[in-house]
């Protein structure tokens, strides 16, 4: 984006790319699906509360995958729950992002010796940001969200769409 002074005194013209406008909107309206599975969920709720205040980044919690851009997997994922997790992820619309919050979500953590525990959410869905800790603090979760915003700002959605288009002759 650039500011170009126009002919009139005190007026400016802003030039930018469509990609940047789309990315600006997407990065600042990350609606995250509430997906608390264990004790990390308490920290996630705290991060959404008034002290850490995720809302100031345009990130608000949603109770349905169809309105969510971001899945925050907070807690221990069991094999039984993994099937539901994958289904919910598939119901989210593109582009979608995943944060694996805490040691349990990233690799099984404390409970990884358990026969029923999945050793990381990336075994079933792609993960964009791994957030270690038991539990990670609200500051760390905020940093993970900012990292997702950076990923979005680097993307080129229109170019990607053009590259994905197949020309059939
Ligand atoms: S990483 Fe720690 S705090 Fe988070 S769900 Fe696992 S045991 Fe609980």
Q: What is the pLDDT of residues 107-129, one digit of tens each?
A: 988 888 989 999 999 999 999 99
- Compute how many other C-beta atoms are within 10 angstroms of the C-beta atom of residue 4: 8
User: How close is the Cα of 44 to the center of ligand 1, in Å?
Assistant: 11
Residue 95: CB atoms within 10 Å: 12
Whether 132 and 37 have beta carbons less than 8 Å apart is answered as no
Choose which residue among 37, 81, 110 to substitute to test ligand 1 binding: the one with the highest number of ligand atoms within 8 A of its C-beta: 110
Least trusted range by pLDDT, from 10-14, 32-36, 85-89, 95-99: 10-14
Kindly list the structural domains of the chain, giving each domain's residue range(s) and its CATH number in brackets, ordered by start: 31-155 (3.40.50.12280)
Alpha helices in the chain (DSSP H): 18-27, 40-48, 79-91, 102-107, 138-154, 157-164
pLDDT at site 160: 64
Report d(CA 83, CA 56) in Å as an integer. 33
What number does the ligand 1 atom closest to the CA of 75 have? 5
* 68 CA from centroid of ligand 1 (Å): 23
Nearest CA to ligand 1 atom 6: 104
pTM: 0.85
CA of 133 to the centre of ligand 1 (A): 8
Phi, psi torsion values for 51, nearest 5 degrees = -75, -50
Handedness of CA 148, 150, 154, 158 (dihedral sign): positive
């Amino acid at each position: 984006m650039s500011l170009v002074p126009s002919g009139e005194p005190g007026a400016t013209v802003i030039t930018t790319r469509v990609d940047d406008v789309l990315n600006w909107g997407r990065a600042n309206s990350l609606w995250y699906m509430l997906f608390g599975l264990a004790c990390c969920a308490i920290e996630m709720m705290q991060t959404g509360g008034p002290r850490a205040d995720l809302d100031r980044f345009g990130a608000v919690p949603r109770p349905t995958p169809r309105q969510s851009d971001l899945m925050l997997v907070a807690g221990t994922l069991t094999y039984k729950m993994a099937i539901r997790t994958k289904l919910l992820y598939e119901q989210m619309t593109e582009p979608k992002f995943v944060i694996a919050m805490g040691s349990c979500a990233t690799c099984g953590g404390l409970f990884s010796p358990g026969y029923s525990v999945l050793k990381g959410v990336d075994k079933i869905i792609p993960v964009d940001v791994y957030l270690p800790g038991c539990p990670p603090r609200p500051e760390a979760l905020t940093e993970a969200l900012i990292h997702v915003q950076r990923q979005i700002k680097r993307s080129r959605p229109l170019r990607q769409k053009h590259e994905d288009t197949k020309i059939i002759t």
